[in-house]
Structure 1
Amino acid sequence: MNTQHDITVSGKPLNPPKPPAKPHMLLWIDTETTGISRTNAKLLEIGMIATSMDGIEEHDRFICPVRPDHVSLYDLDPKVLRMHLDNGLLDTVMETEPNEYGYANVARNLSEFLNTEASQYVLHPAGTNVDYDIDILTNQLAPHLHPDWLRALANHRKLDLSTYRISDLALDHNPYQGHTGTHRVEDCITRDRNDYTTYLDRLIEHERNQQ
């Protein structure tokens, strides 16, 4: 049975114009946390940068330290503790104003940023182990935002640089050379974007050689 009902005006079908398609963008995501648990690790820093699909042209960004409501040195894995003491992140977090950089206010600001981006673009999450970052953001900020708030605003298709790097390992290449970095979100996103453009350049060169 055909259940389609056309909208008519004066007996003529009305076909309203479709809204223009939103451009596709990469949403680079990285978090720094107190550990590796997707449920219990606490957020220390959040980074998101929207770029063109080739990762080159940057549009908007959200870079913010986070002060957990309840955290002690015992919450940090010893390796993570040393890392974030060395890179200054723990000092930055402890010097922040608790209300301004606490979970509730950061969640509000991040939600406003993402809603604005999602209203303009189709957002494809990108990064290293990006599902981890999505899970930790969802779980830690759940009391302040609706469930799956991030997944609702971003496309289910993601770009994970781990796939490229594992492929490099299969070719006996070392994709992690020079990856020590500072373990701050902006630095990690810059690394991922640089690696991504390198992989794209290799694909372009391969296509040229096939012609």
Structure 2
Amino acid sequence: MNTSDAHSITVGGTPVTPEPADALLWLDVETTGLDPNECSILEIGAICTSLDATREFGRYETVIHIQTEQLLDISLKALKMHTANGLLAACEQSGSSEQEATDDLADFIDRLTSEQGLTLHPAGTNIQRFDLPAINHLLEQHECHGFLANQLHYRAFDMTTIRLLWQSLGHNPYQHHQHGTHRVHDCLTRDITEYRTLRQHIKDHTA
């Protein structure tokens, strides 16, 4: 069934509304620091996939324009990292305003739930500890109060859990993580690719 089709199913003459399809909303942010309630977001990325990550329902990425005064509180690690990968230059030269990023992200998520009928489970690395709180803080600052709580399912998927499971079995789940660019596209692609690989391995050994 095409999840973008808005229609009812009729059984015995009684209209039945289709159940929402579960999906993973992979999220990643790059920021000026490690406190999600204090740092500024430099870049936001979101990719929505099916639960098995074989289908993509939509994606959103934006660089957020940063003011000079916001750089006064940037951590040394973030300064070095995002100077090297070009993100700070991109944020200074262009990018969306925080308000534009808030509106666009909220619209993207709303379309997934209202138009495509998806139940969104937030997914990513340390998603509930950092990325979700950072995004929620941005949304709250721009009058989107309670938006994530209303739009996203409380059951989240954290890649750290599956990596620790993999490590407990004697593998090194972080062997390919050393040379990432620390840009949202790269981080999201890594997480989704790794999830597909580990999921297939589990499937092959439990079928």
* TM tier, smaller: 0.7 to 0.9
Considering only CA atoms, is the larger Rg found in Structure 1 or Structure 2? Answer: 1
Size of the aligned set, in residue pairs, is: 191
Opposite residue 34 of structure 2, the aligned amino acid is I
How far apart, in 2, do the equivalents of 1:145 and 1:188 lie?
A: 28
Cα-to-partner distance string for 1:58-83 (whole Å, 9 max, x where unaligned): 22111000124564433211111111
Question: In structure 2, do the counterparts of structure 1 residues 18 and 69 end up closer, same or farther at CA, with 3 Å as the change threshold?
Answer: farther
How far apart, in 2, do the equivalents of 1:71 and 1:53 lie?
A: 41
State whether residues 23 and 122 of structure 1, in contact with CA within 8 Å, keep that contact through their aligned partners in structure 2: yes
State whether residues 56 and 193 of structure 1, in contact with CA within 8 Å, keep that contact through their aligned partners in structure 2: no
Return structure 1 stretches of 4+ with deviation > 4 angstroms.
Answer: none
Q: Look up the match of 1:122.
A: 119
How far apart, in 2, do the equivalents of 1:93 and 1:196 lie?
A: 30
Q: 2:92 aligns with which of 62, 85, 94?
A: 94
147-156 or 125-134, larger mean C-alpha shift? 147-156
Q: Look up the match of 2:149.
A: 151
State whether residues 28 and 49 of structure 1, in contact with CA within 8 Å, keep that contact through their aligned partners in structure 2: yes
Opposite residue 105 of structure 2, the aligned amino acid is L
Opposite residue 77 of structure 1, the aligned amino acid is S
Q: Look up the match of 1:134.
A: 132
How far apart, in 2, do the equivalents of 1:111 and 1:71 lie?
A: 26
Q: Look up the match of 2:4.
A: none
How far apart, in 2, do the equivalents of 1:160 and 1:49 lie?
A: 15
RMSD: 1.7
Shift of 1:16: 5.9
Q: Secondary structure at the match of 1:36?
A: coil
Q: Look up the match of 2:206.
A: 207
Q: Look up the match of 2:186.
A: 187
Q: 2:165 aligns with which of 167, 183, 188?
A: 167
Q: Look up the match of 1:43.
A: 41
Alignment of 1:55-94 (within 5 A): 55-68=53-66, 71-94=69-92
Q: TM-score, normalised by structure 1?
A: 0.85
Opposite residue 207 of structure 1, the aligned amino acid is T
Percent identity over paired residues:
36
Q: Look up the match of 1:5.
A: none
Opposite residue 142 of structure 1, the aligned amino acid is E
Cα-to-partner distance string for 1:77-110 (whole Å, 9 max, x where unaligned): 111111101111001101115xxx1111111111
Q: Which consecutive unaligned segments of at least 5 residues does structure 2 have?
A: 1-12
State whether residues 124 and 159 of structure 1, in contact with CA within 8 Å, keep that contact through their aligned partners in structure 2: yes
Cα-to-partner distance string for 1:33-69 (whole Å, 9 max, x where unaligned): 0011021011000000111111122221110001245
Opposite residue 165 of structure 2, the aligned amino acid is S
62-71 or 154-163, larger mean C-alpha shift? 62-71
Question: In structure 2, do the counterparts of structure 1 residues 71 and 163 end up closer, same or farther at CA, with 3 Å as the change threshold?
Answer: farther
How far apart, in 1, do the equivalents of 2:69 and 2:197 lie?
A: 39
Cα-to-partner distance string for 1:163-182 (whole Å, 9 max, x where unaligned): 01111222232111111310
How far apart, in 2, do the equivalents of 1:71 and 1:43 lie?
A: 14
Opposite residue 65 of structure 2, the aligned amino acid is R
State whether residues 44 and 68 of structure 1, in contact with CA within 8 Å, keep that contact through their aligned partners in structure 2: yes
